[in-house]
Chains A and B, each alone.
Chain A
C-alpha cells in the first residue's frame, strides 16, 4: 500500500490543519510541495484533482480527497483509535455543533483578516483598514462566547478533545502571531487562553512549527 501523499504548501493554514490530524492519528505521509508562487495549483493537471484550484489535497493510495476538514474527518474515521470524532449519538451531535461553530463563527471572521495579510505579503496590496477592524471586533466578540463555553467544559465539543478543537489551531495561531497578539491569549479570556495554550503544546502542533513536512515514522 502506497504511503499517503499530502499536496500543499508548508505554511498554508489548511495544509497545517491536515498535517495536525495526520500526526494525531500517527499516519505516515509524504509531503509534496505545491509551488504557490508559480501558481502550480491552477494548472489543468492540478484542477483535475482539485477543481477549485486550492490546496491541499491528498492522494491516499489512489483515493483523491480535498478540503482540509474533510481530509481530517476521513483520517479520523479511518483511525478511530485516535478518538477525534465521538461515536455516542449525542456527543457526536455536540461535536458537529462545535465543528460548525469553528467554521461559521471563527473561520468566517478570521478569513478576511488572513486574506488581507496574504494580499499584502504576496501582492503588495493594501486593504481598507476599517472593515478589517470591524471583522476583528466581531471575531473577538465570538471569542467572548467561546470564553463562556470553555468555562463550563474543557474543549469546544465537551470534555474531550475532538477534531473541532484541532481545526481552529492553524488560523488561531496565525492571527495571534501575525495579525493581533493577545486575541487568543488575553487574560480577559482566561479559558480561551487555557484552551489555546493546551492545543499549542500538543506534539501534533509542535511537529510542524517550522512548516509542514512529511513524517515517515512516529
Chain B
C-alpha cells in the first residue's frame, strides 16, 4: 500500500492542521510541496484534483480528498481507537457541536486576526489592518469558550477530540501577535490552549510540515 501523499505548501494553516492530526495518529505521510507563492495550486493539473484551487489535498493510495477537516476526519475514522471522533451517539453529537463551534465561532475571527500575524512572520505579507476588529470579536467568543471549558476539560467533553485539534493553526497564529488565548481572566481557555500547543504533533511542524515516515 502506497504511503499517504499530502499535496500542499509546507507552511499554510490547513496543512498544519492536517499534519498535526496525521502526527497524532502516527500515520506516515509524504509531503509533496505545492509552491503556492507561484500559483502552482491554480494550474489546470492541480485543479483536476482540487477544483477550488486550494491546499491541501491528499492522495491515499489513489483516493483523492480535500478540505483539511474532511481529511482529518477521514484518517481519524480509520483509527477509531484514537478516540478523536467519539462514537457514543450523545458524545458524538457534542463532538459535532464542538467542531461546528470551531467553524462558526472561532475560525472566522481567529483566522482573520491570526493569518496576518503568520503571513508577516513568514515574510509573505505585512498588513495588520483587519486584526484589531477581529481580535475584538474573538475576545467575546472566548468568553463563551471560558464558560464551556470551566465545566469540562476539552471542547466536546472530557476527552480530546478532533474539535480541539482543529483550533490549533489559528489559535497558534493569533498568539504570534496577541495574548488573547492566555489572559488570566480566562484561566480555562489558557489551560486548554497551553495544553494544545504543547502537543508534540503541533510542535513537530513549527518550521513547516515535512515528510514523516517514522514516529
Contact = CB atoms under 8 A, between A and B. Distances in A.
Interface of A: 47, 51-53, 63, 65-70, 73-74, 77-78, 89-90, 92-94, 96-97, 99-101, 103-105, 108, 111, 142, 145, 148-149
Contact of B52 (A69, A70, A145): A145
User: What 9 A-B pairs come out closest when comparing CB atoms?
Assistant: A100-B67, A67-B100, A96-B70, A70-B96, A74-B93, A70-B97, A51-B144, A97-B70, A93-B74
A211 to B, nearest CB: 22
Interface size class on chain B is 20 to 34
Contact of A67 (B63, B92, B101, B141): B101
Given A51-B147, A92-B77, A145-B51, A65 B97 contact: yes
Given A93-B73, A93-B74, A105-B52, A52 B67 contact: no
Contacts, number: 79
B197 interface: no
B7 to A, nearest CB: 15
Nearest to A92: B77
Contacts of B51: 145, 148-149
Nearest to A69: B100
Contact of B105 (A52, A63, A103): A52
Contacts of B67: 96-97, 100-101, 104
Contacts of A142: 52
A96 B74 contact: yes
Interface string B101-118: 101110010000000000
Contacts of A92: 74, 77
B66 interface: yes
A78 B89 contact: yes
Given A52-B141, A65-B94, A70-B99, 13 more contacts: A51-B148, A67-B96, A70-B96, A70-B100, A74-B93, A89-B77, A90-B63, A93-B74, A97-B70, A100-B68, A100-B70, A103-B104, A145-B52
Contact of A70 (B63, B74, B93, B141): B93
Contacts of A100: 67-70
22 contacts: A51-B147, A52-B141, A63-B90, A63-B93, A65-B97, A66-B97, A67-B97, A69-B103, A70-B93, A70-B96, A73-B93, A74-B96, A89-B74, A92-B77, A93-B74, A94-B65, A96-B69, A96-B70, A99-B70, A100-B67, A111-B108, A145-B51
Nearest to B96: A70
Contact of B65 (A63, A70, A97, A108): A97
A149 B141 CA distance: 35
A105 B65 CA distance: 16
Contacts of A67: 96-97, 100-101, 104
Contacts of B68: 100
A69 B73 contact: no
A54 to B, nearest CB: 8
A23 B197 CA distance: 42
Contacts of A89: 74, 77-78
Nearest to B145: A51
